[in-house]
C-alpha cells in the first residue's frame, strides 16, 4: 500500500468481499487499562466481533506504520509495554517519520478506518470537552475528527470527567449526528444516563445503518456518534461514581496534569479508586459496543 499505511490481508479480503468489518482502537490498550486487563479486553473485543460475524480491525501505529488489523504479537506488545505513545491525529506524521509505535485514539483510529474503507468503529467512550474547557480549550481531537471523517463510532457516551453538556453542544456545532440506541438520554459511560437528552433515537441496528447511509448519500462529510448505554447489570452506582470522578479531577489539578496526559491519568485514578469494579464495567460496555457495531456493519 505505502510505507506509512498498511491494511492486513484478512481485513483487506473482508472489505473486498463486502463482509462486515469493525474497527477497534488501541489507546484503550496502551493507556486505557492496566496490564493484563488491557490484553484481555483487546482479545475479547476481537472475539466478540467474530462471534457476531464481523472481521475485527484493531488499529495502531506499528514501528511508524499506521496499521489496520494488528497482529496478535502487536497486541501483546502494546498491552505489556509501558511508554508506547498515545497517538492522536497530530502525532501520526511524527511517529511515521520516526518509525515509532503508537496506540491510536478515537480520532486517529477513525482516520485510519476511513482510509481503509471501514465504516463502523466500536470503542468505550469518546473524548470530548473537558470540564473548564471553555477556559483551557482542552477539547479532544475526537470531536474535530467526528466532524470530518466518515465513520460511525459506537460508544457508551462519554465519561463525566468531561463536560457532557459542552461536548454535546460542540457536536451539534460540528454537525455530527448523535443517535441514542434505545435511549433518549446520552449515556455517561459507567452509568446509562448523563441527564442530557440525545437529539435522535434509534431502535435497531438497521435504522442506524440507514442514517449512516443517508449521511453519505447526502454528501455530508463526518461521522455519526452511536450512543449505546451500559447494561443495567454492569452499571456502577451514579452517586459513588460521581464522587470518584470528582476526586480524580482534583488529583489531576493538584498534580498539574495537562494535555494528552489528562485522560489517561483520570482513567488510572478511577480504576485505582474502584478496585477493579470500573475495569469490569469498562470491559463489558466495550463488548456490548462491539456487538452493536458488528450488527450495524452487517446491515450496511
- Kindly list the residues in this chain that would bind ligand PSU in the complex (CB under 6 A): 25, 27-28, 32, 88, 105-106, 124-125, 127, 140-142, 159, 189, 260, 263, 267
CB of 27 to Mn ion, least distance (A): 12
The torsion defined by the Cα of 56, 296, 103 and 51, in degrees rounded to 10, comes to -30
Which one of the spans 109-117, 138-146, 215-223, 266-274 is the region binding Mn ion (CB under 5 A)? Answer: 138-146
Residue 25 interacting entry, from ligand PSU, Mn ion, none, C-beta within 5 to 8 Å by type? ligand PSU
Q: Which is nearer to ligand PSU, 108 or 300 (CB)?
A: 108
CA distance 280 to 278: 5
Alpha helices in the chain (DSSP H): 9-16, 27, 37-51, 72-80, 92-98, 106-116, 133-136, 141-148, 164-173, 205-217, 238-254, 262-273, 277-299
138 is a site residue for Mn ion (CB under 5 A) = yes
Reduced to 3 states, what is the DSSP secondary structure of residue 166? helix
CA distance 262 to 264: 6
* Longest distance between any two alpha carbons in the chain, whole Å: 53
CA distance 217 to 82: 43
- Asked if residue 100 lies in contact with residue 67, where contact means CB atoms within 8 angstroms, the answer is no
Q: Which is nearer to ligand PSU, 119 or 159 (CB)?
A: 159
Residue 267 interacting entry, from ligand PSU, Mn ion, none, C-beta within 5 to 8 Å by type? ligand PSU
Whether 215 sits among the annotated catalytic residues: the reply is no
Which one of the spans 48-56, 133-141, 171-179, 202-210 is the region binding Mn ion (CB under 5 A)? Answer: 133-141
CB of 149 to ligand PSU, least distance (A): 13
Residue 205 interacting entry, from Mn ion, ligand PSU, none, C-beta within 5 to 8 Å by type? none
- DSSP states along 202-224: ESSHHHHHHHHHHHHHTT--S-E
Helix (H) or strand (E) holding 180: strand 178-181
Residue 27 interacting entry, from Mn ion, ligand PSU, none, C-beta within 5 to 8 Å by type? ligand PSU
Q: Which is nearer to ligand PSU, 89 or 119 (CB)?
A: 89
CB of 125 to ligand PSU, least distance (A): 3
CA distance 167 to 133: 10
CB of 59 to ligand PSU, least distance (A): 11
The one catalytic residue among 86, 159, 215, 260: 159
CB of 31 to ligand PSU, least distance (A): 6
Q: Which is nearer to ligand PSU, 32 or 223 (CB)?
A: 32
Q: Among all residues, whose Cβ is closest to Mn ion? A: 138
CB atoms within 10 A of CB 36: 11
Q: Which is nearer to Mn ion, 144 or 207 (CB)?
A: 144
CB of 214 to ligand PSU, least distance (A): 26
Q: Which is nearer to Mn ion, 46 or 138 (CB)?
A: 138
Length of the chain equals 300
Whether 25 sits among the annotated catalytic residues: the reply is yes
Task: Quickly tell me which residue has 470503542 as its cell.
Answer: 123
| CA nearest to 262, candidates 150, 138, 99, 143 | 138
Q: Among all residues, which ones are annotated catalytic? A: 25, 159
Instruction: Give the interface with Mn ion as residue ranges (CB under 5 A).
Output: 138
Amino acid at each position: 500500500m505505502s510505507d506509512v499505511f498498511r491494511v492486513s490481508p484478512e481485513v483487506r479480503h473482508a472489505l473486498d468481499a463486502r463482509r462486515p468489518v469493525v474497527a477497534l482502537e488501541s489507546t484503550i490498550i496502551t493507556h486505557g487499562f492496566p496490564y493484563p486487563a488491557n490484553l484481555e479486553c483487546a482479545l475479547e473485543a476481537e472475539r466478540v466481533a467474530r462471534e457476531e460475524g464481523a472481521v475485527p480491525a484493531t488499529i495502531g501505529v506499528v514501528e511508524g506504520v499506521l496499521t489496520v488489523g494488528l497482529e496478535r504479537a502487536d497486541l501483546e506488545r502494546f498491552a505489556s509495554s509501558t511508554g508506547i505513545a498515545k497517538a492522536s491525529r497530530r502525532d501520526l506524521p511524527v511517529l511515521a517519520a520516526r518509525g515509532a509505535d503508537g496506540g491510536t485514539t478515537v480520532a486517529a483510529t477513525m482516520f485510519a478506518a476511513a482510509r481503509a474503507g471501514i465504516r463502523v468503529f466500536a470503542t468505550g467512550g469518546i473524548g470530548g470537552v473537558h470540564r473548564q474547557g471553555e477556559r483551557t480549550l482542552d477539547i479532544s481531537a475526537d470531536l474535530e475528527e467526528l466532524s470530518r471523517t466518515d465513520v460511525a463510532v459506537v460508544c457508551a457516551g462519554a465519561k463525566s470527567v468531561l463536560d457532557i453538556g459542552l461536548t454535546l453542544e460542540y457536536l451539534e456545532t460540528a454537525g455530527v449526528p448523535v443517535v441514542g440506541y434505545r435511549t433518549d438520554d446520552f449515556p455517561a459511560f459507567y452509568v446509562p444516563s448523563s441527564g442530557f437528552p440525545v437529539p435522535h433515537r434509534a431502535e435497531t441496528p438497521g435504522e442506524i445503518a440507514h442514517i449512516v447511509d443517508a449521511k453519505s448519500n447526502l454528501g455530508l462529510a463526518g461521522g455519526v456518534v452511536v450512543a449505546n448505554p451500559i447494561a443495567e447489570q454492569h452499571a456502577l452506582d451514579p452517586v459513588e461514581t460521581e464522587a470518584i470522578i470528582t476526586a480524580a479531577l482534583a488529583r489531576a489539578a493538584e498534580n498539574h496534569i495537562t494535555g494528552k496526559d489528562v485522560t489517561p491519568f483520570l482513567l488510572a485514578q478511577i480504576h485505582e479508586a474502584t478496585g477493579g469494579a470500573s475495569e469490569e464495567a469498562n470491559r463489558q460496555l466495550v463488548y456490548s459496543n462491539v456487538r452493536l457495531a458488528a450488527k450495524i456493519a452487517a446491515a450496511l
